[in-house]
Structure 1
């Protein structure tokens, strides 16, 4: 959808005043506004047209800042309006005023701002596209990377089974109790001098003096 160039509005009003109302002066004050300082501000048609042109330029910049708002046809229309304003300023005597020159300058600012916003938006779109492509490639690499899950080796028994087998093969040692031999008669002491029948002869008596 082609956008309507809003800078055409103040330029069209100026053309209407010049061609259809030749007796109207752009420099005469239309209204006088009292200020807080006590002075009066005379507002002319030129001031109103310039203020309207500035507001319209602001709206055009806001429109151009939106994504996809300005197409090539919009820039072409802005260029045509600027060319027509310059031609009228140079060729027609009643358009040779500071007011119309400033309106033509606002049309030029609208054209250049549209081009600048379009170029910046194109750069941002290219950068965003490149970043999204990098993210997609990284995601593909992560997905394509094989996952290796270490499986337990069947030849190596688990630590719990080894401990259980050791406990089963080696039972707990029983408390050793000292062996008690049955009580019996005390062993006889064999003494060769005390056995019957084997008594030794008495010692000889000493002679009497």
Structure 2
């Protein structure tokens, strides 16, 4: 699988920087609206779309965390590097000091903590004693 070893949350991180620095758009700009059955109007902003994409990719990252091997470890380390880079950008760059980026930063933290926790938990179940077949529960 090609997705192993590549932190998928790098995609919304790059999109945020493209929107903020190249297009110089705001994250409160309405992209499209929905007319709800209740009569209310739902305005979907650029920041909302970015966070929806981030949550969907977080789901895939959590699924990837259940795999074993060296690529899995590399994937966790790259996710941690992405979290640190996003944290530094949030603290040091003025255009990253938005609530959208803060929620994205929390999603990155959940990816790192969840990935390591799931891997440790799954590895604890993969315990074998020399000379005996593994016990499957």
CA contact (8 A) 1:5 1:78 kept: yes
Q: Deviation at 1:76? A: 1.1
Stretches of structure 1 lacking an aligned partner (at least 5 in a row):
136-209
Paired position in structure 2 for 1:46: 47
TM-score by length of 1: 0.59
Q: State which structure, 1 or 2, has the greater radius of gyration over its C-alpha atoms.
A: 1
Paired position in structure 1 for 2:132: 133
Paired position in structure 2 for 1:103: 104
SS of aligned partner of 1:65: coil
Call closer, same or farther: CA 1:43–1:69 in 2, change over 3 Å: farther
Superposed, 1:69-84 pairs within 5 Å as 71-84=72-85
CA distance in 2, matches of 1:69, 1:36: 50
Q: Deviation at 1:66? A: 3.4
Q: Deviation at 1:122? A: 1.2
Pick the structure with more helix per residue: 2
| Larger relative contact order (Cα-Cα within 8 Å, sequence gap ≥ 6) | 2
Task: Report Cα offsets for 1:123-172 as digits up to 9, x if no partner.
Answer: 1011xx2497278xxxxxxxxxxxxxxxxxxxxxxxxxxxxxxxxxxxxx
CA contact (8 A) 1:70 1:118 kept: no
CA distance in 2, matches of 1:118, 1:14: 29
CA distance in 1, matches of 2:131, 2:110: 34
TM-score by length of 2: 0.87
Aligned residues: 132
Structure 1 consecutive aligned stretches of length 4 or more whose deviation exceeds 6 Å: none
